Amino acid sequence: MVALACAGNPGFVPSLLEAPRTDGRLHYSVATTKKVTRSLGPKDHLFFLLGLDAFLDLPHWKEYQRLLDLVDFIVVSRPGFSNTQVTSIVPPSLVRRGKGKSGPDTIPLRKSLLHILRGVDVPAASHKIRATIHAGRRVAGLVPPLVEEYILKEGLYRSGRMAKTR
């Protein structure tokens, strides 16, 4: 599905790094981030990009505090959410006081930075797309046409098939 989503944009290259494993074990963002970081060159910089709605769920992720230490985050604003909610998720012990880059859209963390990307008010959050499909409604305009076609063809996110994420 990622390959289909990337098909129309030559600037995006899909990765198999988190493809389903043959043994059924889950992938965790903290492990994937460690693996990618080890493969980077000295001038490369890794960012973890996610929507504010997903970021608010971060405390439920495996080793989320370690993940916040490992990589700079870009948190994209979402309609219906307040960007001030970001600070409620970050434990005070991870916030760096005094030094470093800071401002209304950058929060310096202990070992990384958290950037808030405002003005990208895309109403298509993954959990809402899954819920829309689960309810039997179309998602045209929320996902690329090839992705919608694949979801419908495979019967994804229908009753009894809601995917668990994290």
Q: Structural domain boundaries of the chain? A: 44-122, 124-166
Structure tokens, 8: 């129309």
Range picked from 2-11, 21-30, 132-141 for highest mean pLDDT: 21-30
The amino acid that residue 86 corresponds to is: V
- The pLDDT value recorded for residue 99 is 61
pTM: 0.76
For residues 102 and 108, is the Cβ–Cβ distance under 8 A? Answer: yes
Which band of pLDDT confidence, cut at 50, 70 and 90, is reported for residue 100?
low
Which band of pLDDT confidence, cut at 50, 70 and 90, is reported for residue 101?
low
Which band of pLDDT confidence, cut at 50, 70 and 90, is reported for residue 123?
low
- The pLDDT value recorded for residue 161 is 46
CATH class for the domain made up of 44-122: alpha beta
- DSSP code of residue 16: -
Instruction: Indicate if the pLDDT at residue 32 is higher than 90.
Output: yes
pLDDT in tens, 38-70: 999 999 999 999 988 889 999 999 999 999 999
Beta bridge partners of 107: 114
Q: Which residues of 107-136 are buried (b: 16+ CB within 10 A; e: fewer)?
A: bbbeebbbbbeeeeeeeebeeebbebbbee
